[in-house]
Amino acid sequence: MREAGGLIIRPPALLFSFLMGQNVDRLVECVPNFSEGRNQTTVRALAHAVESVQGVWLLDRTMDRDHHRSVLSFAGEPDAVAEAAFRALRVATDLIDLRKHKGVHPRVGATDVVPFVPLRGATIQDCIHLAKRLGQRVGTELEIPVFLYEQAALHRDHAPLESVRRGGLQGLAFRMASDPDWRPDYGPHQLHKTAGAVVIGARPSLIAFNVNLRSTDLALARSIAKDIRQSNGGLPHLKAIGVELASRKMVQVAMNLTDYIITPLHVAFEAVRALAAEKGVVVAESEVIGLVPQAALIQAAGHSLALEQFDSTQVLEARLETRLFGESARRGSSGEQESVDINTQPLADFLDAVAAATPIPAGGTVAALVGALAASLGMMGARLSRQQGVEHRLNEIGQRLRDLMQADGEAYQRFIQATKLEKTDRTRPAALSSALHLATEIPLEIAEQATEAGVLLHACSVGVKPPVRSDLAVGLILAIAAADAGRHTVEENMNVQRNQRLKSSLRDRIELMTIRLEELRSLCYITPLQGRGGTRKKLVQALPGKVARREEWKSKSSIITSRKLSKLPRRSSREKDSSAN
């Protein structure tokens, strides 16, 4: 196992075919960050805590002396992963004392951050539930204040990790004592004496990517980080800080790529390299902390090697996974599902089923189908213009929407069954609320997935020929229709949901989805900017020189994003982007 920030590529087919043999239907990844990067005994104890849980596989661990930080990556069944995270967190609480900690990386806890990431068969909602359950347990059993972040956040100001970390431990302690909005979601209202606080959440996969400069000029690293991060008008979906690597006599631009399809690895690298070169500084090396999606490496390799008509299915492991996993899945599901599998129905039969005088399939299923069709049109455009990153993500969205076609009908059937419970049954109110909550989450995810497909369709249309651009415009219209349909179903279900706690848990997601949908709607009949100055107001007004540099970086990407979402969860004007998981 690698004990430093490095890169490990594992054949996915072998892992997933093995898991199929173990009857693992859902996979979740957890990537906890601990404030210990120098004591190998402590980090081994953390790893052993994870490995002590059956059904969990430790995939990677890294240590960094200068950051004074370690990162574990492990995956498995959701319940087992949550248990492993708790055991590791308990060990960290016993062995790590923040009062003695000195490192360059921002932190607020001995266990600083614990994100759950959905993998095969799991959803972001699964991870949100895990985050809340773990948070409640940590707050109660370990008496550590817990803040939920990213998509698990209960408070908008807590969603960005950098907001929680702002001002370090002292800043967080001050806000907890003086601002009612900064009371922790679980646990005591003051920091733990030695362990501080912990931030737990749910998020999509991200890449922790660092570029080390052959220089000791910390001001240069910080200046480059400021120029390239999204919050200062740089590259979209990129967070960055500049830090000193005293043990290596270098400085580092530490980055998080929160969407490697929009801003790929090679674009982030080129941005740092170009700005450093302006000051006569060269790149010494780069590193990936933890694990990285295979598609991101394929994307970077295809660009760097200028591969002609390269397809991701030409990767041996990817082709092997498709064959082995696909056949295993078909063998494992045969005869077990009583309801009709929509995805295997002929089109005529599906249309007849929608038209039948039965409650399912109905609106939610149709909305998911429309979103999947939009994603397919986008894949066509991406393949014709060789935008492999966009193609890969749209394929993922399309597959997920196909799954949601089936899930929507099953959720509604569960709700119908709950309504048939006797009114004297004490479990009836809880069963109804739970079933309705699921029947609301699914169309909400349909709307979220369709909106993301629409954004990618718009970005993809920059690099295609005019005839294809017309098809992508149709796809964009379909994506908006699917998202709007999902949003309508969500609103209808929220109106009849009586459980206020469940309603509250979805409000922020619904508001954010609505904002993004409205921004997407504004793109529907607008021609992409194609690298020329646009009329829409930018998130941050950048200097002309910065705009020119940004366009140069973007030109090296497989896609060009001409617009950025302007209404993300509210952020404090004082906060800085930080690079962390």
DSSP state string for 195-219: TB-EEEEE----EEEEEEES---HH
* CA dist., res. 526 & res. 542, Å (int): 23
User: Which alpha helices (DSSP H) does 202-360 contain, by range?
Assistant: 218-228, 265-278, 294-304, 316-333, 347-355
Higher pLDDT, 580 or 155: 155
Residues 200 and 213 in one domain: no
Q: What is the CATH number of the domain that holds 77?
A: 3.30.990.10
Range from 100-104, 173-177, 561-565, 576-580 carrying the lowest mean pLDDT: 561-565
What's the whole-number mean pLDDT along residues 338-365?
Answer: 76
The encoded tokens of residue 383 equal 């393949």
What's the whole-number mean pLDDT along residues 72-94?
Answer: 95
DSSP, collapsed to helix, strand or coil, labels residue 29 as: strand
The encoded tokens of residue 298 equal 């394929």
- Give the pLDDT confidence of 226-267 residue by residue, as tens digits: 999 988 888 888 999 999 998 889 999 999 998 787 788 999
Q: Measured at the alpha carbon of residue 311, what is the angle toward residues 306 and 317, in degrees to the nearest 5? A: 110
Structural domain of residue 461, as residue ranges?
347-523
| N-to-C CA span, the chain | 20
The encoded tokens of residue 163 equal 């907001």
Provide the number of structural domains found in the chain: 3
* CA dist., res. 23 & res. 27, Å (int): 11
Q: What is the CATH number of the domain that holds 408?
A: 1.20.120.680
Residue 327 lies in a domain: no
CB atoms within 10 A of CB 425: 12
* CA dist., res. 29 & res. 110, Å (int): 20
* CA dist., res. 28 & res. 536, Å (int): 39
CB 518 within 8 A of CB 502: no
pLDDT at 80: 94
H or E segment to which residue 231 belongs? none
Residue 530 lies in a domain: no
Residue 325 lies in a domain: no
Residue 339 lies in a domain: no
pLDDT at 548: 57
Q: To 10 degrees, what angle do helices 265-278 and 544-554 make?
A: 140
CB 184 within 8 A of CB 145: yes
* CA dist., res. 309 & res. 387, Å (int): 10
pLDDT classification of 214: cutoffs 50, 70, 90: very high
At a CB cut-off of 8 Å and minimum separation 6, what does 531 contact?
A: 462, 551, 554, 555, 560, 562
CB 264 within 8 A of CB 389: yes
The encoded tokens of residue 578 equal 């930080």
The encoded tokens of residue 431 equal 């069963």
H or E segment to which residue 477 belongs? helix 466-496
β-strand pairing of 198-202 with 111-118: parallel
CB 195 within 8 A of CB 109: yes
Residue 379 lies in a domain: yes
Residue 7 lies in a domain: yes
* CA dist., res. 495 & res. 558, Å (int): 43
Residue 16 lies in a domain: yes
pLDDT above 90 as % of the chain: 39
Residue 341 lies in a domain: no
Residues 143 and 241 in one domain: no
Residues 432 and 504 in one domain: yes
Question: What pTM, to 2 d.p., does this model score?
Answer: 0.56
Q: Choose one of 184, 204, 224: the last residue of a domain.
A: 204
Residues 193 and 212 in one domain: no
> Does residue 123 carry a pLDDT above 90?
no
Q: What is the CATH number of the domain that holds 232?
A: 3.30.70.670
* DSSP single-letter state for residue 460: H
Residues 19 and 71 in one domain: yes
> Does residue 527 carry a pLDDT above 50?
no
The catalytic residues are: 105
Residues 137 and 246 in one domain: no
β-strand pairing of 146-150 with 56-64: unpaired
Residues 438 and 544 in one domain: no
CB 453 within 8 A of CB 421: no
β-strand pairing of 111-118 with 33-34: antiparallel
Residues 425 and 312 in one domain: no
Range from 198-212, 300-314, 317-331 carrying the lowest mean pLDDT: 317-331
